[in-house]
Amino acid sequence: MRGGIAGVVVTWASRLRFPYLLLLVSVLFVMNLFIPDVIPFADELIMGLVTLLLANLKKKPEPADQEPAPPR
């Protein structure tokens, strides 16, 4: 298995939508902030989940068959 436990969690979390992914990252960050080392490799998990979160915020491309709106 590649990536260990952090890889498994990030792979599972990659299927989550924005609000749930943001909630997961927030809870993990607060737990890591107030109770250090409560979860092994929490820092690595947070970095992977933030990467997924930012990837989900990426703007969707416009369909190619539509003409762009003229500038005003």
Assigned domain for 66 exists? no
Assigned domain for 17 exists? yes
| pLDDT of 50 strictly over 80 | yes
Which one is predicted more confidently, 63 or 42? 42
Which one is predicted more confidently, 40 or 63? 40
pLDDT digits over 7-45, tens only?
A: 888 888 888 888 888 888 888 888 878 887 767 777 888
At a CB cut-off of 8 Å and minimum separation 6, what does 62 contact?
A: 68
Tell me the pTM: 0.59
Assigned domain for 18 exists? yes
Residue 25 CA to residue 32 CA, distance in Å, equals 10
How many Cβ atoms sit within 10 Å of the Cβ of residue 45? 22
Residue 41 CA to residue 44 CA, distance in Å, equals 5
Supply the range of the domain harboring residue 26. 4-55
pLDDT for res 65: 64
Q: Is the dihedral of CA 48, 7, 44, 9 positive or negative?
A: positive
